[in-house]
Amino acid sequence: MISRREFLYCLAIAMGGSAINLKGLSAEEPTFESVVSFRSIGNVTILHTTDTHAQLLPTYYREPDTNIGIGAMKGTPPHLTGMEFLKYYGIRHGSPLAYAFTYLDFQTLAREYGKMGGFSHLATLIKQVRQEREGKVVYVDTGDTLQGSALSLWSRGEDMVEVLNLLKCDAMTGHWEFTYGQQRLMELIKKMKFPFIAHNVHDAIWEDPVFEPYVIKSLKDVSVALIGQAFPYTPIANPKRFIPDWSFGIKEENLQRVVDEVRAKKVDLVILLSHSGFDVDRKIASRVKGIDVILGGHTHDAIPRPFVVGKTLVIGSGCYGKFLARLDLKVRSKRIEDFSFKLIPVFSRVIKPDHEMETLIKRLRTPYLKQLSEVIGETEVLLFRRGNFDGTFDDLICDALMEYYDVDFTLSPGFRWGATILPGKITSEDVYSHTAITYPNTYRGKIKGSQLKEILEDIADNLFNPDPYRQQGGDMVRSRGIHYILYPEQKMGNRIADLRVRGKPVDPDREYTFAGWASMQLQEGPPVYEIVLDYIRKKKRINVEVDRPRVII
């Protein structure tokens, strides 16, 4: 019987396509042995997950096709995508790792290699490493873990606390966790069997620390200080009303004091659990002395090798449970003598799920299965979110808002989370994976053309400011009805040009109607997931046209 690979290969030739290109997609099947193979060294093993966004089950997640770096960050990780990424890291096109790390041939390779992640599969890997390296392992999570699914929204984060407890997490910090509000977060922390740490969150009036800034873990031969750095811009990127009594920030000087404090306690290793974004982490590493390793989150960057800044290893471990970062260290005389690293790709087809975790996940999901599994329609195109400028699921959201509110244009935030949906059935759970937030209400408003230009300039500056400390880590706002030219390398006020609404040049003095969701202010419109669910049910078949600005570099 002809194999699927051979069929695709023959089909390409019959259609006049390039046999060489499709032959490049012929790759070895991943095996459990190839997934877990590792050069084990030293006396410490650090395991790290981040930005899983409450995805309990294996899923698809397409990496970005565009991730522009500005200034000193241009052309360096994580601002490499596609073939540039593969060339930089020596990964073969069409291989399992090319599928895991890039968007290239995503639809074909997704059907070939399957879904990735899933906490029962992560649990299998974590347990195996702990057994192999008994007494030497620290497992940590750097946040955006308690939010992102229907189940987490409905349980207000409690499902993921149970999961992390079962994984025996040693410490975590956060970001979207704060959108449950101060009181609820504190309730969740009381249920955690591990510390929630953040040196940079203080009482807004008295400047007292809200959380423990660090925890020290004693292993067989080594003591490890874990310092937490929560997302510095939480009150700006998310509604401040959720955390009205707390102040945030990078707080570099405070971080240096904390590092000095743990160093004075004669620890052997200092690790920063950071939810600041990869570029911010690189800058922190260049300015704060005494940090051995930064385990990063927030910007969802999967970096196959640590980025070395001075004496600090900076690590980006991807998102959505696609990877488990493993870092083995040989630590002697309070310094790293050698290290071995791997972003372990969590190919769910070849990793046997852990029975204990699988049982917990089944218990958590069972009461909601009927609602989660409802098929609401079908898509003819790949629906995804991640990319500096476009995401077809956001285009779908904008279309739904446009029909519901009948406005000049619509907006959807440049969030980086949201499961990728292959052509075929769309479930209710798929929609919630892109919309499950605690401030989902939609709204209709009016805005002058001059204000629209200012807002787009402000969003672009957040993404493309050459100073990482002035970036907040999202992508460009998505829209329907707006078109413009974007110059990422220009300065604030000069990045947006030829701005048009419905094909006509924007009149600075004219008022335009628009609709959106995830507002910083309280809104009374229907939750976005209700509008999108109803829209898909009505349309039955979705065929989204990609809408992105013209970008000139």
Neighbours of 290 (CB within 10 A): 15
Candidate from 28-37, 184-193, 432-441 with smallest mean pLDDT: 28-37
State residue 24's pLDDT score: 33
Sign of CA dihedral 40, 46, 47, 48: negative
The single-letter code of the amino acid at 117 is G
List pLDDT tens digits, range 46-88.
999 999 999 999 999 999 999 999 999 999 999 999 999 999 9
Structural domain spans, the chain? 41-55+116-364, 373-551
pLDDT for residue 8 is more than 50: no
- CATH number 3.60.21.10 given to 41-55+116-364: yes
Q: 503, exposed or middle or buried, with CB in 10 Å at 0-12, 13-18, 19+?
A: exposed
The model's confidence at residue 546, banded by pLDDT at 50, 70 and 90, is confident
**Where does the pLDDT of residue 208 fall: very low under 50, low under 70, confident under 90, or very high at 90 and above?**
very high
% pLDDT > 70, the chain: 95
Residues 373-551: name the CATH superfamily: 5'-Nucleotidase, C-terminal domain (3.90.780.10)
Q: How confident is the model at residue 17 (pLDDT cuts 50, 70, 90)?
A: very low
Confidence class of residue 548 from pLDDT cuts 50, 70 and 90?
confident
Token pair recorded at residue 387: 């990319």
Cis peptide before 78 (omega within 30 of 0): yes
pLDDT in tens, 271-319: 999 999 999 999 999 999 999 999 999 999 999 999 999 999 999 999 9
CA-closest candidate to residue 223, choices 292, 142, 315? 292
CA 225, CA 292: separation in Å to the nearest integer?
10
Give the Cα separation of 222 and 336 in Å (integer).
12
Residue 309 pLDDT: 97
Q: Find the helix packing angle between 4-14 and 106-113, rounded to 10°.
A: 160
pLDDT in the model for residue 473: 78
**Token pair recorded at residue 8:** 């695709």
This prediction's pTM: 0.94
What's CA 458's distance to the chain center, in Å?
Answer: 22
Query: According to the model, what pLDDT value does residue 472 have?
Result: 84
Helix and strand counts by DSSP (H, E) for the chain: 19, 24
Binning pLDDT at 50, 70 and 90, where does residue 541 land? very high
pLDDT digits (tens, 9 = 90+) for 466-514: 999 998 878 999 999 999 999 999 999 999 999 999 999 999 999 999 9
| Mean pLDDT score, 175-201 | 98
Query: With 90 as the cut, is the pLDDT of residue 333 above it?
Result: yes
Same fold for the domain at 41-55+116-364 and the one at 373-551?
Answer: no
